[in-house]
Amino acid sequence: MDVGLRAGLSLGVFAAAATGLAVLGAGVAAASTGDSPAAGGGVASSATAPADRRVATKQALPGPRRETTPSTVRPAAVTTNQAPVISGVSVRTPNTSTGAVSGTVTASDPERTALTYAATTSPAGRVTITGAGAFTYTPTAAARHAAARIGAGPAVTSDTVAVTVTDSGGASARSDVTVPISPRNTAPRFGRNTVGVPEPVSGVVSGRLSATDADRDPLSFSAPASTARGTITIDALTGAFTYTPTADARNTAAQTGAAADKADTFTVTVADGYGGQATAAIKVAISPALRLPEPQYLPVTAQLRVGAEVIGLEVAVTREQQWRGLMGRPPLGPNQGMLFTYSPASPQFFWMWQTPHPIDMVFLLGGEVKTVYAATPCLAQPCQFYGSLLQPVDAVIELGSGRAAQLGLKPGVRVTITSIVPTSIVPPSVVSPSGPATVPVSV
């Protein structure tokens, strides 16, 4: 080996060891000419290479040698969004005029993000809420009226508002807030109450109460059961009432100078069932006790036949019997009547003086009905007269009120009256304000 070549190789090894880097390659590229290498030149090679063949070398960078260790890659930590926290709810007293209830829902978010508030609307009311959690609940008029009903339970006296708080990440919290419903009702008002006049015999006064309600609630009427002077009955639904004075009250009212004792007053009430009510004072007249004449009861000596109906007739013969007629008598039964006869036929007039119950008067001529009158009691003169100067009659029959129509008696109808063997009638107990009295029968 050439000394120069040996020295060059040794120097290359030494340089590689000194730098600590691997020698990737060394060589000489020479053009293939076919000539011998130049004297004193580079590495001699017996192999010839193509003219375009090149040998690449990579030299190590200078510097110290370092050992490398593979590094570990850690993923970023994933955080979970926490829901807002509702820490408090405040509800204020309803506004007495509008019924509106205000309140506040207090909430916070662990991540301190912005919060939004929402609230439900129920059929009983509507609710609004701000971004700060302040809400206002306003009940409907129907809900307030329902809450006013007497005995109403929590289902109608309160409502529930669902408030939802949501953070920017979509997490939410909910609170059901109970709000009171302020009751509201319009009280009924009395209208025109009607009070009748006392019934002549019993003194009973009938009347009817009238009232209206703005809410159209069903109304109920009430009255005291009695006063110091009488008793009261009332229909709670219709307001119809009757007042019956006591016997003592009527006797007192009959005394001279007893103006203050001829009336009574009691208080009635109308209620709507929702806490609303109104009262009114009702003044009624007290009819003085009647001093009716002793009634007469005559024997039944005739009968009236109308179809299958047979009516027994008491016959008033004398002028006194005809004048007294049915004075002081209780109502006639369906098959009872009184007959008055006149010969010759002539115009006749009847009145109802001291006759305490209504009757039918049937005026006849020759067995034919000429006129029928519905006569009403007269206990204080002047009294109405029944009859006509232009219509002579030979008989008049008095029947119980409404009986003539039931029998079909009207002008032009013919009837048959026959005499029968006299029979006595048993008079009923006649009840007067001073007590019952039994009237004897004279035959």
- Select from 255, 285, 315 the last residue of a domain: 285
Query: Is 306 found in the same domain as 248?
Result: no
Kindly report, residue by residue over 231-255, the tens digit of the pLDDT: 999 999 999 999 999 999 999 998 8
Tell me if 317 is assigned to some domain. Answer: yes
Predicted local confidence at residue 71, as pLDDT: 57
Predicted local confidence at residue 10, as pLDDT: 39
What gap in Å lies between CA 193 and CA 213, rounded to an integer? 15
On average, the pLDDT of the chain sits at 83
Predicted local confidence at residue 292, as pLDDT: 83
Kindly report, residue by residue over 347-378, the tens digit of the pLDDT: 999 999 999 899 999 999 999 999 999 999 99
What gap in Å lies between CA 364 and CA 411, rounded to an integer? 9
Tell me if 80 is assigned to some domain. Answer: no
Would you place residue 137 in the very low, low, confident or very high pLDDT band (cuts 50, 70, 90)? Answer: very high
Predicted local confidence at residue 28, as pLDDT: 34
Predicted local confidence at residue 67, as pLDDT: 55
- Select from 285, 314, 347 the last residue of a domain: 285
Query: Is 304 found in the same domain as 427?
Result: yes
Tell me if 292 is assigned to some domain. Answer: no
Lowest mean pLDDT among 35-49, 64-78, 123-137: 35-49
Task: Name the DSSP letter for residue 411.
Answer: T
Would you place residue 423 in the very low, low, confident or very high pLDDT band (cuts 50, 70, 90)? Answer: confident
Residue-range definition of the domain harbouring residue 212: 189-285
Query: Is 410 found in the same domain as 311?
Result: yes
Query: Is 244 found in the same domain as 206?
Result: yes
What gap in Å lies between CA 236 and CA 254, rounded to an integer? 33
315 vs 422, residue with greater confidence: 315
Predicted local confidence at residue 290, as pLDDT: 81
Tell me if 213 is assigned to some domain. Answer: yes
Predicted local confidence at residue 73, as pLDDT: 58
Query: Is 250 found in the same domain as 195?
Result: yes
Number of domains in the chain: 4
Give, in degrees to the nearest 5, the angle at Cα 124 between 122 and 128: 55
pLDDT at 99 over 70: yes
39-61 b/e (C-beta count within 10 Å ≥ 16 → b): eeeeeeeeeeeeeeeeeeeeeee
Query: Is 427 found in the same domain as 399?
Result: yes
Query: Is 159 found in the same domain as 132?
Result: yes
Query: Is 431 found in the same domain as 335?
Result: yes
Query: Rounded mean pLDDT of 23-37?
Result: 37
Tell me if 76 is assigned to some domain. Answer: no
Tell me if 322 is assigned to some domain. Answer: yes
Greatest Cα pair distance, the chain, in angstroms, is 201
Predicted local confidence at residue 35, as pLDDT: 41
Lowest mean pLDDT among 135-139, 246-250, 289-293, 435-439: 435-439
Kindly report, residue by residue over 216-227, the tens digit of the pLDDT: 999 999 999 999
Kindly report, residue by residue over 56-76, the tens digit of the pLDDT: 444 444 555 555 555 555 665
Would you place residue 379 in the very low, low, confident or very high pLDDT band (cuts 50, 70, 90)? Answer: confident
Kindly report, residue by residue over 178-229, the tens digit of the pLDDT: 999 999 999 999 999 999 999 878 899 999 999 999 999 999 999 999 999 9
Would you place residue 428 in the very low, low, confident or very high pLDDT band (cuts 50, 70, 90)? Answer: low
Query: Rounded mean pLDDT of 33-41?
Result: 39
Query: Is 427 found in the same domain as 307?
Result: yes
- Tell me what percent of the residues of the chain surpass a pLDDT of 70: 78
Kindly report, residue by residue over 74-87, the tens digit of the pLDDT: 665 667 999 999 99
Tell me if 34 is assigned to some domain. Answer: yes
The CATH number that applies at residue 158 is 2.60.40
Predicted local confidence at residue 34, as pLDDT: 41
Predicted local confidence at residue 233, as pLDDT: 98
- Select from 180, 212, 230 the last residue of a domain: 180
Query: Rounded mean pLDDT of 151-180?
Result: 96
DSSP state letters, 188-204: -EE---EE-PPPTTT--
Query: Is 200 found in the same domain as 174?
Result: no
DSSP state letters, 192-246: --EE-PPPTTT--EEEE--EE-TT-PPPEEE--SB-SSEEEEE-TTT-EEEEEE-
Query: Is 195 found in the same domain as 270?
Result: yes
Query: Rounded mean pLDDT of 95-99?
Result: 95
Q: Whole-model pTM?
A: 0.58
Query: Is 281 found in the same domain as 304?
Result: no
pLDDT at 45 over 50: no
The CATH number that applies at residue 391 is 2.60.120.1140
Kindly report, residue by residue over 257-311, the tens digit of the pLDDT: 767 789 999 999 999 999 999 999 999 999 988 888 899 999 999 999 998 899 9
pLDDT at 380 over 90: no
In which element (H, E) is residue 141 found? helix 141-147
What gap in Å lies between CA 353 and CA 323, rounded to an integer? 10
What gap in Å lies between CA 413 and CA 407, rounded to an integer? 11
Tell me if 413 is assigned to some domain. Answer: yes
Smallest Cα–Cα separation from 431: which of 312, 322, 331?
331
